[in-house]
C-alpha cells in the first residue's frame, strides 16, 4: 500500500500534468481514496513527526514527541477536511460550481501530497529548512489539476488556482496556530 502511495506522490510532484490526467480517467471510490491514500499518508506524517522529535533532539523527550505528533495529526487531518469543505462551499459562489465534497476531498488530498512529503523530509532533516520554499510548487500542482481534474475554464483558472492553493496551504497552518492558542501545553 505504501509503495502505491509513494508512486502517486512522486507522480503528482514530478509529473503533475500526466498524474492529473491519469487520476481524472480513473474511477475511484471515496472510501478507497481515503483509506488507501490520505489516511495512511497523514498517519505516516504523524509517525514521522513523533520519531523526528526523538531522533533530532539532543535529549529523549517523549512528552515533546507526543505533543508534536498530536499537533501534526490534528493540523494535517483538520487542514485536509477544512480545506476541502471551504472550497466546496466557496466554490459554489465564487466559481459557480456545483457542490461536490467528494471531488474536493480528492482534489485537496492529491494537491496536498507535496506538503505532506515536505513535512516528512523537514521533520527528519530539520537542517534543510530552506526546502520550505518548495511548498509554493503546490501552485503548479493545482494549476495542472484545475483543467483535467476539476474542469475549470481557462479564463477562471488563475483565480481558481490562487484561491485553492492559498486554502490548501493555509488551513493546516491556521489549525496549528489555533491549537497553540487554545491549548498552550502544545506549544514548544
pTM here is 0.91
State pLDDT tens for residues 5-18.
Answer: 999 999 999 999 99
State pLDDT tens for residues 122-179.
Answer: 999 989 999 999 999 999 999 999 999 998 888 989 999 999 999 999 999 999 999 8
User: What local confidence, expressed as pLDDT, does residue 2 receive?
Assistant: 84
The average confidence (pLDDT) of the chain is 91
Beta strands in 65-128 (DSSP E): none
Residue 92 has pLDDT above 90, yes or no: no
Say how far apart CA 62 and CA 103 lie, in whole Å.
39
Question: Is residue 36 a contact partner of residue 59, using CB atoms and an 8 Å limit?
Answer: no
User: What local confidence, expressed as pLDDT, does residue 91 receive?
Assistant: 83
Question: Model confidence at 60, in pLDDT bands (50, 70, 90)?
Answer: confident
Residue 169 makes CB contacts below 8 A (sequence gap 6+) with: 115, 135, 138
What average pLDDT does this structure show over 31-46? Answer: 94
Beta strands in 1-96 (DSSP E): none
Q: List the grid coordinates of 13.
A: 510532484
Question: Model confidence at 28, in pLDDT bands (50, 70, 90)?
Answer: confident
| Burial class of residue 1 in the structure, from the number of CB atoms within 10 Å of its CB (0-12 exposed, 13-18 middle, 19+ buried) | exposed
Question: Model confidence at 77, in pLDDT bands (50, 70, 90)?
Answer: very high
Q: List the grid coordinates of 33.
A: 481514496
Rg over alpha carbons for the chain, rounded to the nearest Å, is 17
Highest mean pLDDT pick, 25-29, 64-68, 163-167: 163-167
How many residues are given for the chain?
188
Residue 160 makes CB contacts below 8 A (sequence gap 6+) with: 95, 146, 150, 152
Question: Model confidence at 30, in pLDDT bands (50, 70, 90)?
Answer: confident
Residue 186 has pLDDT above 80, yes or no: no
Amino acid at each position: 500500500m505504501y509503495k502505491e502511495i509513494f508512486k502517486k506522490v512522486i507522480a503528482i510532484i514530478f509529473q503533475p500534468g500526466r498524474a492529473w490526467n491519469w487520476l481524472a480517467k480513473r474511477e475511484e471510490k471515496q472510501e478507497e481514496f481515503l483509506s488507501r491514500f490520505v489516511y495512511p499518508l497523514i498517519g505516516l506524517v504523524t509517525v514521522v513527526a513523533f520519531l523526528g522529535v526523538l531522533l533530532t533532539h539532543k535529549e529523549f523527550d517523549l512528552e515533546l514527541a507526543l505533543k508534536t505528533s498530536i499537533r501534526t495529526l490534528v493540523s494535517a487531518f483538520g487542514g485536509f477536511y477544512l480545506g476541502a469543505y471551504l472550497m466546496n462551499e466557496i466554490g459554489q459562489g465564487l466559481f459557480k460550481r456545483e457542490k461536490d465534497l467528494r471531488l474536493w476531498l480528492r482534489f485537496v488530498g492529491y494537491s496536498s501530497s507535496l506538503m505532506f512529503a515536505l513535512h516528512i523530509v523537514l521533520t527528519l532533516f530539520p537542517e534543510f529548512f530552506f526546502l520550505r520554499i518548495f511548498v509554493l510548487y503546490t501552485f503548479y500542482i493545482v494549476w495542472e489539476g484545475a483543467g483535467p481534474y476539476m474542469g475549470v475554464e481557462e479564463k477562471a483558472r488563475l483565480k481558481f488556482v490562487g484561491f485553492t492553493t492559498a486554502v490548501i496551504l493555509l488551513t493546516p497552518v491556521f489549525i496549528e496556530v489555533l491549537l497553540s492558542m487554545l491549548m498552550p501545553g502544545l506549544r514548544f
